[in-house]
Structure 1
Amino acid sequence: YIRSLIARFEWLADNPRAGRPRDDIKRGYRCYPQGAHIIFYRIVDNTVDILGAPHQSMDIERHFD
């Protein structure tokens, strides 16, 4: 499962705009689902900065508070 997350991180690096904007959590945040997790990231200077991959059952807003 970890390998699939890492593969998705690499895919997001090549497709940074694929994720959905999540400005409701914090301006510039984006997310993309991967299995039972949601990958949160932001694009900084043409680089994907992975912020976390919490389980989808978690309180996401609280996770990033």
Structure 2
Amino acid sequence: QADRYIAELDSCFETLSSNPKLGRERHDIKTGYRSFPVGAHVVFYRITNSGIEIIGIPHQREDPINHIDQIS
């Protein structure tokens, strides 16, 4: 099950790298941040000059602001 979930995340990262504006803008969290759901989690990322930067992947029930503040 873990291997399948990691494969889903990898696929999501590739999709977002190819289509960085696919995710929803999340100015409510921080200007430039975007989010995209994958399974029971939400990928938070930002677009950079060289692609995308993954900010965090909290569970969908988790408060994303607290999660991102903890890793920033």
Q: How far apart in 2 are the matches of 1:24 and 1:7?
A: 26
Corresponding residue to 1:27 among 18, 31, 41: 31
Deviates further, 13-22 or 42-51: 42-51
Cα RMSD (Å) of the superposition?
0.9
Q: Which blocks of at least 5 consecutive residues in structure 2 are unaligned?
A: none
Q: How far apart in 1 are the matches of 2:21 and 2:61?
A: 24
- The structure number with the bigger radius of gyration is 2
1:30-45 residue pairs with structure 2 within 5 A? 30-45=34-49
Query: Structure 1 runs of 4+ off > 4 angstroms?
Result: none
1:64 CA drift (Å): 1.4
More helix by share: 2
Deviates further, 45-54 or 1-10: 45-54
The one-letter code sitting in structure 2 at the alignment partner of 1:36 is: A
Q: Which blocks of at least 5 consecutive residues in structure 1 are unaligned?
A: none
- Normalising by the residue count of structure 1, what TM-score does the alignment of the two structures yield? 0.93
Number of residue-to-residue matches in the alignment: 65
The percent of aligned pairs where both chains have the same amino acid is 51
What SS class does the counterpart of residue 58 from structure 2 fall into? coil
